[in-house]
């Protein structure tokens, strides 16, 4: 194969727009939700949820006892306009990891949970 | 020169027969697998997310800020599902004519190129694959066990819709003065036109002498056309109201609705009557 030079030097079409920044307040809210799940704080989760989503949000921490989980990692993120889906794994020494997915949106000046699902044991984001 | 002989493996070759026995046929909607670092949600959840933000439940509309990113992302995910669908049509119907299978294989190849093109276009408009969630809605159009219905739904229904969507993006790019998007999408549209023609040919061939089966295939496609009417959010190109659209520091006047691409559909082999039916159905929905 002939030497074609350094491809990184080739100037192709350049992006015409910037990536949309992820709001820092949303990231902070997601971290807070994940910590509430880790600590099994169902009341805290309910307080962070939009009215319609309270029961599902509380259920994310169902059966979680203090000490079971001490870590989390965000595995995927996507947005539907200005609402953000966060998929995260909750990990700890005391139990099998759980995989959850929440949708956060800004409501009356704060980021709240509009939707939540426990995806543990499912094959992908939605499929079983 | 060294010894070029290949050592014979003791492992039996994995033939197509064996693959057929072990792979599941007719993958249902809720079994569409995706990597864990990917967000796939049911369409109704995405629609609810839009409603919660006081937006119309359908896909990003031309008047929205993120229209181009959202629309190109939806198409890119659609190209992946179209690639999977064509592959599945090849695998799900092993008794279909060999030429049918060859066409489906060719379509897999086309759709994979399209997916790559759209991934590049996403980067070009400041987005990336995964910025938005993917829905299963296109895969739901594969849920039928007759190859004639499958090609009617996928090749004529969905690829027909692709002709509409792509034609609108080409016009948008022309108005923006952007040859990159215009030419890239035009290149893909040429393939989609071929896919529709392929679908029309196979729908007729597979139902030859069986009017009931043809009717079933046409009805399946009609259901898909209705599904993508967006509740009357579509019009003919001529009837589309023009509104200001801001894209990449430019403001242009553009369609407020998703349009139906008559010319591209005619090129794809849809009859005038079929196109009129789609236009009529769209305006009928708008009344509700």
Beta pairing partners, B243: B254
pLDDT of A124 over the 70 cut: no
* Terminal C-alpha separation, chain A: 47
> Where residue B287 falls among pLDDT bands split at 50, 70, 90?
very low
Which residues from chain B sit within 8 angstroms of residue A77, using beta carbons?
Answer: 39, 130
pLDDT of residue B13: 61
- The count of CB pairs under 8 A between chains A and B is 108
Residue of B216 and B253 predicted with greater confidence:
B216
List the structure tokens of B117: 């093109």
Q: Between chains, do A85 and B133 touch, taking CB under 8 Å as contact?
A: yes
- Per-residue pLDDT reduced to its tens digit, A51-110: 999 999 999 999 899 889 999 999 999 999 999 999 999 999 989 999 999 999 999 999
A76/B38 touch (CB, cutoff 8 Å), yes or no? yes
Which of B27, B36, B56 has the highest number of chain A CBs within 10 A, making it the mutation to test binding with A?
A: B36
Q: What is the pLDDT of residues B50-64, one digit of tens each?
A: 999 999 887 777 777
Q: Do B125 and A16 touch (CB under 8 A)?
A: yes
State yes or no: pLDDT of A17 exceeds 60.
Answer: yes
Mean pLDDT of A36-49: 96
CB neighbourhood size of B244 (10 A): 10
Contact between B35 and A127 using a beta-carbon 8 Å cutoff = no
Q: Is A9 helix (H, G, I), strand (E, B) or coil?
A: helix
Q: Which of B94 and B230 is assigned the larger pLDDT?
A: B94
Distance CA B59, CA B96 (A): 35
Instruction: Name residue, tokens 């629609």.
Output: B47
Lowest mean pLDDT among B38-52, B108-122, B219-233: B219-233
Using the beta-carbon criterion (under 8 Å), do B53 and A83 form an inter-chain contact? yes
Interface of B with A (CB under 8 A): 30-42, 45-46, 48-50, 52-53, 55, 60, 64, 66, 68-69, 123-128, 130-133, 136, 178, 180, 248
d(CA B276, CA A1): 54
How confident is the prediction for chain B on average, in pLDDT?
88
pLDDT tens column, B249-280: 778 888 888 889 999 999 999 999 999 888 88
Let me know: does B205 contact B214? Beta carbons within 8 Å. no
- Six token digits for residue B213: 């089966």
What's residue B281's pLDDT? 77
pLDDT at B6 over 90: no
Reported as a pLDDT band with limits 50, 70 and 90, residue B218 is: very high
**C-alpha distance from A66 to closest chain B C-alpha (Å):** 27
**Residue for token digits 């949600």?**
B41
Contact check, Cβ <8 Å, A127/B49: no
Q: In residues, how long is chain B? A: 288
Phi, psi of B175 (to 5 degrees): -65, -35
Residue B190 confidence (pLDDT)? 96
Query: What is the rounded average pLDDT for all residues in chain A?
Result: 91
Q: What is the mean pLDDT of residues B105-128?
A: 96
pLDDT grade for B285, boundaries at 50, 70 and 90 = very low
The distance of Cα A108 from the centroid of its chain, to the nearest Å, equals: 21
Helix (H, G, I), strand (E, B) or coil at A72: strand
The pTM is what? 0.89
Q: How confident is the model at residue B184 (pLDDT cuts 50, 70, 90)?
A: very high
pLDDT tens digits, residue range B14-45? 666 777 677 888 988 888 888 888 999 988 99
- Residue for token digits 């807070």? A32
Query: What are the structure tokens assigned to B220, written together?
Result: 């399946």
């Amino acid at each position: 194969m002939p030497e074609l030079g350094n491809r990184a030097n080739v100037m192709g079409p350049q992006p015409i727009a910037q990536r949309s920044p992820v709001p820092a307040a949303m990231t902070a809210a997601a971290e807070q939700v994940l910590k509430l799940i880790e600590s099994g704080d169902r009341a805290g989760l309910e307080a962070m949820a939009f009215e319609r989503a309270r029961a599902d949000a509380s259920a994310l921490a169902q059966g979680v006892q203090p000490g079971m989980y001490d870590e989390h990692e965000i595995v995927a993120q996507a947005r539907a306009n200005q609402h953000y889906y966060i998929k995260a794994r909750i990990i700890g020494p005391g139990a099998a990891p759980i995989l959850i997915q929440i949708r956060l949106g800004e409501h009356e000046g704060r980021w709240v949970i509009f939707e939540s699902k426990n995806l543990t044991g499912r094959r992908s984001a939605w499929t079983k | 020169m060294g010894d070029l002989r290949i050592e014979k493996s003791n492992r039996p070759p994995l033939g197509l027969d064996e693959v057929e026995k072990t792979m599941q046929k007719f993958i249902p909607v809720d079994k569409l697998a995706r990597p864990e670092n990917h967000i796939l949600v049911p369409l109704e959840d995405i629609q609810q997310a839009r409603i919660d933000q006081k937006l119309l439940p359908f896909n990003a509309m031309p008047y929205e800020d993120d229209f181009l990113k959202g629309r190109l992302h939806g198409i890119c995910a659609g190209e992946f599902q179209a690639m999977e669908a064509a592959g599945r049509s090849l695998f799900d119907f092993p008794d279909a004519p060999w030429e049918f299978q060859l066409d489906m294989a060719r379509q897999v190849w086309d759709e994979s190129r399209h997916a790559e093109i759209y991934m590049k276009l996403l980067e070009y408009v400041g987005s990336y694959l995964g910025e938005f969630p993917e829905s299963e809605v296109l895969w739901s159009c594969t849920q039928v066990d007759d190859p004639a219905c499958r090609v009617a739904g996928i090749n004529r229904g969905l690829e027909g819709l692709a002709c509409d969507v792509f034609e609108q993006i080409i016009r948008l790019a022309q108005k923006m003065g952007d040859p990159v998007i215009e030419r890239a999408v035009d290149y893909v549209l040429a393939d989609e036109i071929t896919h529709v023609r392929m679908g029309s040919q196979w729908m007729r061939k597979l139902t030859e002498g069986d009017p009931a089966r043809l009717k079933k295939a046409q009805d399946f496609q009609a259901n898909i056309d209705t599904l993508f009417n967006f509740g009357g959010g579509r019009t003919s190109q001529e009837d589309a109201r023009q509104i200001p659209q801001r894209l990449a520091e430019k403001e242009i006047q553009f369609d407020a609705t998703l349009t139906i691409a008559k010319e591209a559909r005619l090129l794809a082999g849809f009859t005038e009557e079929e196109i009129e039916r789609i236009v009529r159905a769209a305006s009928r929905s708008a009344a509700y």
